[in-house]
Amino acid sequence: MNDALPANEPPVIELRGVKKSFGKNAVLKDLNLRVPPGQTFAFLGRNGAGKTTTIRTLLGLIKPDAGEVRVLGIDPREKPLEVRRRVGYVAEDQTMFGWMRVGQLISFIAPFYPTWDHSWATQLSDRFELPLKTRVKHLSKGQGVRVALMLALAHRPELVILDDPTLGLDPIMRKEFLRDLVAHLQGERVSVFFSSHLLYEIELVADSVVILDHGRIVRQAATEDLRATVKRLVAPAEAEQILRGLPGLLDLNRSGRQATAVVEDIAAARPVLSAAGVVAQEIDLNLDEIFEAYVIGRRKEHNHAQADVERVA
Amino acid sequence: MRKLMWKEWHEQSWKLAFACIVLGATALIGMRARIFSDETMMMWVSSLGLMTLPILASTGLVPAERNDGTLETLLALPVQPWRILAAKISMGVMLCAAPIAVAAAASVLITGGRELTVAEMLLFYAVCIFTAICLFSWMLALSIRLPSEARAGLLGIGISIFWLLATAGLEYPSVPAIAWAISPFAMVRELYVEESRKNISLSTVLGIQTVIVVGLWWWTAKHIAGSEQRP
């Protein structure tokens, strides 16, 4: 599902039919993704959904078993170094060289990037208040993430890929990191591909969202569209069967005299409810609840369907 | 490449200094005390070097970085993986060669010409250096995917023992000389066994070992980058 994304601009990231397995474990299953330029793009999924594998594929660190990958129009399998030169990357729980001082680390990394901007690096170091003479191993977690972000930005990348960079940070530090991200990247019109499972934070900065579950994309949409279309419906318990038949049903629960359903397109659900004479209350959802409906709700439905099949058998 | 070398030097220089001091001091004291013949003492010093230096070099260069997580950081940089490996191999070669060279210098200074000629002593130590580099190459190649120094160290010990036993086994008369020359210890044996059972020259063994080492480095370069294991 790739709704509400501009199709006229060449995408910064494009995946078509990408598959990747590690042994018998299929991690990416026919992954299709299109990231337009200039957006902050949230890549959401639970642990083990395939987020890191996707990102490592984008950087040419992992070769997919099948499918096409393009990053800034380049195939990372053929030109991984070209991709890495033009992309800023902060890895999940990135480990730097502990014995180096922050200044030494910057001097070590800089020569690998032809576009490294020393004055911009100095500005970033000042803004992020990086202690240049402190050894990396003595930095706090928050300082470490800021160093990684500074290193990812100082060569003025066209695309920044962040793999769950706030993992392990306390709430205040996470907010500071996102503040820095918003201030320095969105202002520069740099495309950001941001993987996370902390949705309440992503919600504030993401223009678009893609939800990955078990190696498959279950929804890709602009954040506002997602909020506008995915709704929770609360109806009397007698309407449960009607709710079960709604198009785009993501989750269905019954408690006491009420049945609640989450649908991915409220506009498609309304006529069905009207035709059946069901009066349902529509409730707005935040990104966290939408994600839960897609990831957990679908699994419940899948389990119910399997149980039904087993019963019949 | 210069920056990669700088990094490796900073990470490994203390090991290099430590190994140079230990091996140099052992040679110096041993030769000076003259408890054994010069030849026996050289064998002791070189055995110490051959058993420790390749393990010291191979465990610290890749498995230690994999264990720390910094290898992933290095591989995600816009630099060819073979350059990363070239810097590591250069440092590994230095770790294998420099301490034995220091021991050679100490031995020559103390005993040069006493029981063995300087040329004989230098040839022996040169062969030891090359043997250490061969062992290091085997250990590096086979530990390239190991995620811990301890496991790489155990593997290194295993490789040394395997080749020691294999060298003895391959000396059996029916084994062709060319097969025997595959062992990294063949050069030391060729130089030191008074009546070598194999009709093969030192230079031929050297040539075969060079081909093997280059092959191992190529194999290692191919496998350092393809870190396909699931994160």
Query: Residue A309 has what pLDDT?
Result: 41
With pLDDT > 70 as the criterion, what percentage of chain A qualifies?
90
Could you tell me how far CA B156 lies from the centroid of its own chain?
11
In terms of pLDDT, which residue wins out, A158 or A184? A158
pTM of the model: 0.80
Of B231, B168, B178, which Cα lies nearest the Cα of B209? B178
Alpha helix positions (H), chain A: 51-58, 80-86, 102-109, 118-127, 141-153, 171-185, 199-205, 223-229, 240-244, 266-276, 287-292, 298-312
Residue A310 pLDDT > 50, yes or no?
A: no
- Tell me which chain B residue has its CA closest to the CA of residue A76: B78
| Confidence grade of residue A3 (pLDDT, cut at 50, 70, 90) | very low
- Tell me which chain A residue has its CA closest to the CA of residue B3: A108
Query: Residue B160 has what pLDDT?
Result: 92
User: How many angstroms separate the CA of residue A100 from the nearest CA in chain B?
Assistant: 9
Q: Cβ–Cβ of A95/B72 closer than 8 Å? A: yes
Q: Cβ–Cβ of B78/A112 closer than 8 Å? A: yes
With pLDDT > 90 as the criterion, what percentage of chain A qualifies?
15
Q: Cβ–Cβ of A93/B10 closer than 8 Å? A: no
Residue A181 pLDDT > 80, yes or no?
A: no
- Residue B34 falls inside a structural domain: yes
- Computed on alpha carbons and rounded to an integer, the radius of gyration of chain B in Å comes to 18
Tell me which amino acid residue A208 is. S
Six-digit token string for B1:
């490449």
Q: Cβ–Cβ of B78/A108 closer than 8 Å? A: no
Cα dist from A22 to A56, A214, B117, whole Å: 14, 14, 59
Query: Residue A186 has what pLDDT?
Result: 67
Comparing CB atoms, the residue among A59, A81, A111 nearest residue B3 is A111
Q: Cβ–Cβ of A84/B76 closer than 8 Å? A: yes
Q: pLDDT averaged over chain A?
A: 82
- Residue B231 falls inside a structural domain: no
Six-digit token string for B172:
């059996």
Domains (ranges, CATH) in chain A?
A: 13-222 (3.40.50.300), 227-312 (3.30.70)
User: In the 8-state DSSP scheme, what is residue B40?
Assistant: H
Alpha helix positions (H), A110-212: 118-127, 141-153, 171-185, 199-205
- Residue B22 falls inside a structural domain: yes
Query: Residue A83 has what pLDDT?
Result: 92
Q: Cβ–Cβ of A95/B7 closer than 8 Å? A: no
Describe the crossing of helices B149-170 and B38-61 by its angle, rounded to 10 degrees: 140
Residue A203 pLDDT > 80, yes or no?
A: no
- Tell me which chain B residue has its CA closest to the CA of residue A28: B230
Q: Looking at the 3D structure of chain B, how many domains does it have? A: 1
- Residue B230 falls inside a structural domain: no
| Confidence grade of residue A306 (pLDDT, cut at 50, 70, 90) | very low
Query: Residue A6 has what pLDDT?
Result: 52
User: In the 8-state DSSP scheme, what is residue A129?
Assistant: T
Query: What number of other Cβ atoms are within 10 A of residue B208's Cβ?
Result: 20
- Tell me which chain B residue has its CA closest to the CA of residue A112: B78
Residue A302 pLDDT > 80, yes or no?
A: no
| Confidence grade of residue A313 (pLDDT, cut at 50, 70, 90) | very low
In terms of pLDDT, which residue wins out, B136 or A172? B136
Q: Which domain holds residue B201?
A: 2-225
Q: How many helices (H) and strands (E) does chain A have?
A: 12, 13
Beta bridge partners of B15: none
Query: Residue B230 has what pLDDT?
Result: 44
> Which of chain A's residues have a Cβ under 8 Å away from the Cβ of B73?
91, 94-97
Length of chain A: 313
Q: How many angstroms separate the CA atoms of A20 and A56, rounded? A: 11
Q: What average pLDDT score do residues A25-38 get? A: 86
Give me the residue label for tokens 């070398």: B5
Mutate to test the interface with A, among B70, B77, B228, B229 (most CBs of A within 10 A): B77
Low-confidence ranges of chain B (pLDDT < 50): 227-231
In terms of pLDDT, which residue wins out, A307 or A214? A214
- Residue B82 falls inside a structural domain: yes
Query: What number of other Cβ atoms are within 10 A of residue A39's Cβ?
Result: 22
Could you report the per-residue pLDDT of A100-122, keeping only the tens digit for each?
999 999 999 999 999 999 998 89
Do residues A266 and A282 touch, judged by C-beta distance below 8 A? yes
Query: Residue B198 has what pLDDT?
Result: 62
